Copies of this chain bind each other. A is one copy, B any other.
Amino acid sequence: MNAEVLTPPPLTDPDALIADLGGRARGAAKRLAIATTAEKAAALRAAAGQLRTQAAKILGANARDMEAGHAGGLTAAMLDRLRLDEDRLSAIADAVDAVAALADPVGREIDRAVRPNGIELSRVRVPLGVVGIIYESRPNVTADAAALGLMSGNAVILRGGSEAVNSNRAIHAAFAAGLATSGLPADAVQLVPTQDRAAVGALLRAQGLVDIIIPRGGKGLVARVQDEARVPVLAHLDGINHLYIDGAADPAKALPLAVNAKMRRTGICGATETILIDRAYPAPLAIVDALVKAGCEVRGDKAVAALSPHVEPASAGDWDCEYLDAIVSIALVDGLSGALAHIDAHSSRHTDAIVTEDKAAADRFLSEVDSAIVMHNASTQFADGGEFGLGAEIGIATGRLHARGPVALEGLTTYKWLVRGSGQTRP
């Protein structure tokens, strides 16, 4: 029985609901902002403990979601994202413990100066405040986002997908039970109590109540959030990433980089979607053949299509397509300048890479490519907060304001200026 998903309760005043959640979150945020690192870590360890203790309850709730998902015709991929088992739940609890062990960004000094009049200035990191997370079918986001929010001193308001409603509630209840034993306010982690879509609209409009919205999910969700939100949004829409193989690339590096960047995992935002090969590069066919052999469909411009019968001709739309699949578009370009022009025209400004042994070419690429992450002789699949040593990430941002690239604890903070004087008045 999953009546609630089928017939959500009518929501008469979504703005009032969000004002209530937001007001309570703001109150909790005040307490969290001055919580010590030890308090936050202890609360997270208690939450992780409850996720383990309440495993049977959580897996039971997930089984109800899976049953409804089967009945509702979710795809196999969606069901896989939704599904929990003991191992996956254990990994979720471990991830919460891992966040508890991360360095606390709050209170960290960014810089300091003493003015000629003796006034001491410093900028110190403080939490953003209230963070709204809107996500789809993966129930692990409930625990991940709550943990990252809490460790960075923020209150979070979570809104997961309808298909995971029972799983999310069970995970949230376990997390909250852990919090309750820790002395930090229960309102620090809230789950929107209705699946009515109007609540999402109200959350996106909640200027002053919510400081930032982070959507986690597919392009449809992110686009809708970016379009509707009046609250600032931290997100990326696309990962149309390029690997440029320069004429001065070492083929022994270029070939494995091309295969790894495209094929290691095709469904992640850091996967390469377009490979650009310098006309001066000696072995383009080997790149094409290696990709085909790895199971990749290759769509090429005329020059690439002429290399191999395995290459399909690319259409104009291919150069702006995020396949998230075992498909790649490949074009030959006129050297570094040709690559830069193509990337400028088609990149989604997430991650772009050059393969070359020419240091000057690498430096020019790193300088001129205007993307959140720019790489030299490395696979675009490294575009990940964990790989960057940030610990877990809340997302990857391709906007230009506030935080860019992988966003982890530091990206969930802002700063304030502390001014210490001894009675100075301004002349």
Contact = CB atoms under 8 A, between A and B. Distances in A.
Contact of A382 (B379, B388, B419): B419
A414 B234 CA distance: 14
Contacts of A414: 400-401, 404
A301 interface: no
Contacts of A80: none
Contacts of A378: 119, 419-421, 423-424
A417 B264 contact: no
A102 to B, nearest CB: 15
B423 A416 contact: no
A421 B376 contact: yes
Interface in A359-409: 362, 366-368, 370-379, 381-382, 387-389, 400-402, 404-406
Chain A interface, DSSP helix/strand/loop, else mixed: mixed
B426 A387 contact: yes
A355 to B, nearest CB: 8
Given A30-B370, A382-B119, A388-B121, A416 B405 contact: yes
- For chain A, give the interface size range: 35 or more
B422 A377 contact: yes
A400 B353 CA distance: 32
Nearest to A376: B420
Nearest to A118: B378
Most buried by B among A375, A415, A426: A426
Given A113-B389, A376-B419, 4 more contacts: A121-B389, A260-B426, A264-B426, A401-B402
The 7 residue pairs across chains A and B that have the minimum distance between CB atoms: A378-B421, A260-B425, A253-B423, A375-B419, A381-B426, A402-B402, A377-B421
Interface of A: 30, 33-34, 113, 115, 119, 121, 126, 128-129, 211-212, 232, 250, 252-253, 256-257, 259-261, 264, 344, 353, 355, 362, 366-368, 370-379, 381-382, 387-389, 400-402, 404-406, 414-426
